[in-house]
Homo-oligomer: A and B are copies of this chain.
């Protein structure tokens, strides 16, 4: 008697707040692109190795696969494949120097990436 939904809802509670539900749908819809991009970034950051790679690159300005392999104690191809994903997502870029390839954060994305680490205590001890 209360229901005029054209779509068969799985939820039949009488007191379901249809207005609230509609508002929510609209908010999601308006920000759909943002959610897509954000979840893509978080999916990349959601891997321990990749999160550390991003952190290290951001913190050291640039690093090569070789160094990352040393630091993270993982094989070079494994690192390389992570770097490729980060590059495909336009989070990092490369600079070639001889046979070494340096990866760095794409400046546009620095904000988003720095956000990822605001709960990691900043090392003062870097001043070698």
A39-B47 in contact given A60-B24, A126-B23 (Cβ < 8 Å): yes
Q: How many protomers of this protein does the assembly include?
A: 2
Docked pose: A125 CA to B24 CA in angstroms: 11
| Residue A52 interfacial (CB < 8 Å) | yes
Chain B residue, CB-CB nearest to A5 = B70
Chain B residues positioned under 8 Å from A64 (CB to CB): 11
Among A24, A46, A116, max chain B CB count under 10 A is at A24
Chain B residues positioned under 8 Å from A40 (CB to CB): 46
Docked pose: A44 CA to B10 CA in angstroms: 25
- Chain A 42-65 interface mask (CB, 8 Å, partner B; 1/0): 111111101110011001100010
